[in-house]
Each structure stands twice: as structure tokens, then as C-alpha cells.
Structure 1
Amino acid sequence: MTETISAFWNQYGQLLTDGTVDTFVMVIVSTVFAYLLGLPMGVLLIITQPHGIWPRKWINRVLGWIINIGRSLPFIILMIAIMDFTKLIVGTKIGVKGAIVPLVVSAAPFIARMVETSLSEVDAGVVEAAQSMGASVPQIVWKVYLPEAKPSLILGASISIITILAYTAIAGAVGAGGLGDLAIRYGYQRKVPSMMWVTVILIIVLVQVIQSVFSWLATKVDKRLR
């Protein structure tokens, strides 16, 4: 058994290491850029509602439609559909760099809805109190909405990151690199079932670690549990 594991690692260890690193790069970079787009969109969805602190019906409606359309497209179809746009932005359609653009485009609308859901849980009384004291819209967003919704935002971030991780595995189907690419190229195409199982186990471990860490963080910042 030990010899079998050693032989497997000698043959595929470097590939698995590189694939894991590529997956980390795709997830981290895509998450950062997706939040740079999705977080402001989620905030706008909340504050521009008819009963929001900055009601703007048409902005809310148009933004809602854009986000709904973005969430409706299956990731693999979106990835193929915007390949020319991806090449324009990063200079390539494939590999880790080629996967980041569609990952961001696909994840940003999802994150926007997650942020909207988190902010909608903030007590309206706290928001009204801030308004009565003359706080501006940006001040209410930064000092009321985001701090009050922090535990929910952190839990939402774990869901978003795990979703992006799942998307990276799908991206492997079109040569994006990472663990998904290894599972397809070696586990399926070259008939190496052990590679398939190892990549699946690695992804499961990553999901468990991400969920555990973010659940712990959400508990630490939740004022209701102190």
C-alpha cells in the first residue's frame, strides 16, 4: 500500500501540487475581483429599493435585470461565449488567466444577491436611527449596513468562494488548469481513476476547510453571541 502511494506521488505529485496552486490562484483572484464588482451591486440593490435609504426605482430595476441575466447563464456556456472578451482582457482564452475573467463575470451577480440578502437582514430600526441623526447614505452603508451584516456577509463569502471553487473544476473542461483539469485529462481521458479520486478528495478537503474557517470567523464577529 505504501509503495503504491509512493509510486503514485512520484508520478503525479508535481502535477497535483501545480494543480492545487492553480486552483488557489483562480479562486483567490476571481473572488477578489468578483467582490469588487458584486459588493457595490448588492449595496445598490438594497439602498435603491422603494423603501431604501436612496430609492431609485429604475436603477434598482435595471440592475436587478442585469444580475438576474448573469445568474441565469450556465458557467460553461458563459465561459465559451465570452472567450473573445477574455482574450481582449488577459491576452489568452485558456489556462489560469483565461479562466479568471469568466469566473469573475459569473460570480459577481451571485455575490451581489448574497450581499443583498445579508444587508436585508439588518434591523430597520438601526438604519432609521442613523438617518434621524443626519447620517449620509455613504455613512449609513459603511457604518451601519456593512458592520451590522458582517456575520452574514462572512457566511455568504464562504458560499461564494465554494461556488467559485466548483466553477474552477468546470473550467477544467476547457483547459483552464487546476484540479478540475487534472481530473478530466488524467482521470477521464487517460483512464487514471486514482487521479480522479485524489482530485475529488482534495476539492472536498478545500471545501471543508473554507466552510470551517468562515463559520468560525462569522461566530467571532457576531455580537449576538458575545
Structure 2
Amino acid sequence: MEFDVNHLIEFLPEINLAFMQTLYMIAIALFVAVMIGLPVGILLFVTDKGLFWENRIINQVIGFIVNMIRSIPFIILLVALIPFTVWLVDSMIGPTAASVSLSVAAIPFFARLVETAFRKIDYGVIEAAIAAGGTPWMIIKDVLLPEAKSGIISGITITVVSLVGTSAIAGTVGGGGIGDLAIRFGYYRYDDTIMITTVVILIVFVQLIQLIGDKIAKVVDKK
């Protein structure tokens, strides 16, 4: 493999654009995942057996939908959602279109991480809140979310790292971003410089996200 620094300098505008497109896709998908996945994760937890909103039907229906979406490989999900994507954003290619599939994939993924974070809470804390006369909404707002915030932040970090990989997959079918650049130039044109650069960018980006996420999670962890 050959690495040409001059070629890399010439290609910097393309690399910068691709990286911005990746950030754009990840930002949209993460926002949607948190806005929808967090409530879904809460419902999965509080409707489970022994909790204050216990409801077997709701729990199983939500759990089935979450598991169903998570079981579909992303590339298949991306193709299956093309009609919905075209209806929603009037396009089937580009970063915005890819963000639709990324968001759908991220919602159930993050929801399960939120549910897991809640399950790590000492149940005695929840029982004490119930005994004190706390309403379900108060328990969720004042007990569950504060107690699980470190785990939720870790879940956000894991979701972002996962989105980096799936956004690269989206690039292989016209989604744009680093993955698209790697495929078009690094793979199809046998451009070692671009391939090496894109790989290094993704590795460094993931390491930074993980480092920052871990630091924040430790800061907010009361334990």
C-alpha cells in the first residue's frame, strides 16, 4: 500500500465534506434516538413485571417491535425503508435520506440500553419512592432518571460509536459521508491514501467519542 501526502492534501476538501456529512447523519440519528428511544426504554422498564406501571401486553408489544427492528441487518433495513424515506425527505440518496434509516435503527438500540441502565438501579430506592407517595411521573423524573444518568450517558456513547459504523454502511449505497468516500475512491479506484485516511479518521473519531463519553459518565456517577 502506498500513501501519498500530496494527494491527501489535494483531497482535503472532499475529506472534510465527507466528515461533515458523517457528523450530520450521526447528529440527526442521535437526536431522534434520544427523543424517542428514551421514552421507549422507560416504558420497557416501568411496564415490566413488578413495576408501578406493570402491563404485560404493552411490555411485550413494545419489546417485540424493538427486537424485530434490531434483528434486521442495517443494509436490509435501509433498503426496506426507501419508500418511507422518499415520502419523508423526498429523496433516497444523500446524508438526510440516510439519516432516516440510521434513526430507525438507533431508536430500539438506545431504548434497550436505557432499559438496562434502569435495571441497574437498586430496587429499594424505587420502593422507597413509592412508599413515600411518589407518583409514577415523579418517580421517573426524580428517581429513575437521576439514578440512571451515568448509564444513560454510557448508552449515548455506545449509540454514537454504533452510528459511526452504520453511517459508513449507509455511505456504500449513496448516503454520503466517510463510508461513501472510502468506497468510491479507496475501494473502487484502489486509492490507498484515501482508504488509509478514512480508516484513521474513523478510528480517531471513535476513540475520542468513547473517551469523552466515559469521562462524562464518571463525572455524573454518584456511586
Normalising by structure 1, we get a TM-score of 0.96
Q: Which structure 2 residues correspond to residues 129-140 of structure 1 after superposition, within 5 A? A: 129-140=128-139
In structure 1, the partner of 2:152 is 153
Deviations 1:23-52 (A, max 9, x none): 111111110011111111100000000111
Distance in 2 of aligned mates of 1:130 and 1:15: 55
Deviations 1:147-190 (A, max 9, x none): 00111111111111100111000001101000000000000011
In structure 2, the partner of 1:95 is 94
In structure 2, the partner of 1:189 is 188
Q: Which structure 2 residues correspond to residues 67-86 of structure 1 after superposition, within 5 A? A: 67-86=66-85
Q: Show structure 1 runs of 4+ deviating over 2 A.
A: none
Q: Which structure 2 residues correspond to residues 108-127 of structure 1 after superposition, within 5 A? A: 108-127=107-126
Distance in 1 of aligned mates of 2:203 and 2:86: 31
- In angstroms, what is the RMSD of aligned CA positions? 1.1
Structure 2 segments unaligned to the other structure (5+ residues): none
In structure 1, the partner of 2:52 is 53
% of aligned pairs identical? 40
In structure 2, the partner of 1:210 is 209
In structure 2, the partner of 1:18 is 17
Displacement of 1:4: 4.2
Distance in 1 of aligned mates of 2:142 and 2:217: 18
Distance in 2 of aligned mates of 1:96 and 1:49: 37
Distance in 2 of aligned mates of 1:153 and 1:4: 42
Displacement of 1:68: 0.4
Q: Which structure 2 residues correspond to residues 22-33 of structure 1 after superposition, within 5 A? A: 22-33=21-32
- Higher RCO (C-alpha 8 Å, min separation 6): 2
Distance in 1 of aligned mates of 2:175 and 2:191: 20
Distance in 2 of aligned mates of 1:9 and 1:18: 14
Distance in 1 of aligned mates of 2:152 and 2:37: 12
Of stretches 18-27 and 7-16 in structure 1, the one that deviates more from structure 2 is 7-16
Structure 1 segments unaligned to the other structure (5+ residues): none
Distance in 1 of aligned mates of 2:33 and 2:68: 16
Displacement of 1:9: 3.2
- Give the secondary-structure state (helix, strand or coil) at the position aligned to 1:50: coil
Does the alignment pair 1:9 with 2:13? no
Displacement of 1:10: 3.4
Normalising by structure 2, we get a TM-score of 0.97
Distance in 2 of aligned mates of 1:129 and 1:215: 30
- Give the secondary-structure state (helix, strand or coil) at the position aligned to 1:92: coil
